[in-house]
Amino acid sequence: MARPDHMRFHAEIGLPLEALIKSGTAQPVLAPRFPSASGPISVPFAPVAAPHEGVEFHHFWLRHRAIAGDEASDLFDLSPAIALDHSVGAGAPLWDAVLKGGLAFGLRLERGRYAGALLQLAQRAGALVDAGKAGDHAPDEHGDLAGDLVIECGPERSGGGAQAEAGAWSNGRLTLPCTLPCTSTLPGAEWQVCVNAARRFVGLSAPLANSANEQREYTRLAQQEAQRIADMDALLQESDPLASHTFASTHPALARKLALFAACGRIPTEDFEVFTPPEWLAAMWGRGVRPRRYDRMANRMPQQQLIEWLASLKRQRDALTRARETV
């Protein structure tokens, strides 16, 4: 699966979205299901609703729940992305609603076709893709390809320990962290780390004999990114994320995230986050983490306005649900 960054990446390499969808290579997805210890969680790419005067929507929802009690809809019951997910395929009537609404969406990829499309692009750009015909680049007696730099993308690695697992560039080898176990289970993570690694390498490309600084920086960035992915995986897989004290030492940034969210509903972001605040919100919410209070700034909205806003969102969500059911 490709994350919403596909729009930028495919524009960068010249792969039109429309062609991907029409050829059946890609299918839009708005709220992938993340596996977790408490069952799958729908994690929409888009926020449930836009912030108001700098205050995230969930604070208003929390205030509304304090007013309406059990009569309030669940926060994610109001999510248009969840309402529309699985209903926005190529040519589907609700596709326009996604585009007009500016909802962030990813792509569920047909792996073989997608790889084929990328292969064609690479070949057109001059890449040699068949080792058997690559002359100087033919494998040696150990099966290794000769080259100034080897980029390891597959699951079979030549070692390197924890650093290589997280992604590193050293000694003529650049490893992608896409084979970390959690990148294959978290939707879109594998695709995103590959894209980020490619961009990072392009941004840091340097003569191989004189690239120690660039290699260090690449490795630093890749490892931080891997930590953020591992944080999300730990949140999802820990049997009781709030009761666990292990995060403080093993995942300190996640521990901070959980503590702050539980205390006041804020979601701090770290450097090199792969997942956005709306995704962290959905994941924490899905794992049963709830803020003890909402942002006081949410009180600035008059109560009647708040009630009308929430009612309007519910009407919009119901309309989308009805439209989905009639498609």
Q: Mask 302-321, x = binds other proteins (CB under 8 A)? A: x-------------------
Q: How many residues does the chain have?
A: 327
- The region of 96-104, 166-174, 176-184, 209-217 touching other proteins under the rule CB under 8 A is 209-217
Nearer to other proteins, 293 or 322 (CB): 293
Site for other proteins in 220-279 (CB under 8 A): 220-221, 256, 259-260, 262-264, 266, 268, 270-271
| Among candidate residues 147, 139, 232, 243, the one with its CA nearest the CA of residue 192 | 232
To the nearest whole angstrom, how small is the minimum distance from the Cβ of residue 114 to other proteins? 23
Q: Is 94 in the site for other proteins (CB under 8 A)?
A: no
Q: Is 198 in the site for other proteins (CB under 8 A)?
A: no
- Of residues 94, 297, 307, 323, which one binds other proteins by CB under 8 A? 297
* Contact status, residue 230 vs residue 251, Cβ threshold 8 Å: yes
d(CA 284, CA 282): 6
The identity of residue 89, as a single letter, is G
* Contact status, residue 195 vs residue 109, Cβ threshold 8 Å: no
| Among candidate residues 188, 161, 192, the one with its CA nearest the CA of residue 175 | 161
- Of residues 138, 146, 206, 311, which one binds other proteins by CB under 8 A? 206
Q: Is 126 in the site for other proteins (CB under 8 A)?
A: no
Nearer to other proteins, 199 or 314 (CB): 199
Q: Indicate if the alpha-carbon torsion angle 18, 21, 26, 31 is positive or negative.
A: positive
To the nearest whole angstrom, how small is the minimum distance from the Cβ of residue 305 to other proteins? 9
To the nearest whole angstrom, how small is the minimum distance from the Cβ of residue 292 to other proteins? 8
DSSP characters for 27-63? Answer: EEESSPEEP-TTS-EE--SS-SS--BTTB-HHHHHHH
To the nearest whole angstrom, how small is the minimum distance from the Cβ of residue 298 to other proteins? 9
Nearer to other proteins, 40 or 252 (CB): 252
Q: Is 216 in the site for other proteins (CB under 8 A)?
A: yes
Nearer to other proteins, 262 or 323 (CB): 262
Q: Which residues contact 229 (CB under 8 A, 6 or more apart)?
A: 177, 180, 182, 183, 186, 189, 193, 274, 275
Q: Is 143 in the site for other proteins (CB under 8 A)?
A: no
Pairing of strands 41-42, 150-152: unpaired
Alpha helices in 186-302 (DSSP H): 189-204, 212-237, 247-250, 252-264, 277-286
Q: Is 214 in the site for other proteins (CB under 8 A)?
A: yes
Residue listed under structure tokens 């006041």: 264
| Among candidate residues 1, 10, 59, 61, the one with its CA nearest the CA of residue 30 | 1
Q: Is 113 in the site for other proteins (CB under 8 A)?
A: no
- The region of 91-99, 148-156, 213-221, 311-319 touching other proteins under the rule CB under 8 A is 213-221
To the nearest whole angstrom, how small is the minimum distance from the Cβ of residue 46 to other proteins? 22
Nearer to other proteins, 33 or 256 (CB): 256
d(CA 290, CA 308): 24
Nearer to other proteins, 90 or 260 (CB): 260
Catalog residues that contact other proteins under the rule CB under 8 A: 12, 202-207, 210, 213-214, 216-217, 220-221, 256, 259-260, 262-264, 266, 268, 270-271, 292-293, 295-297, 299-302
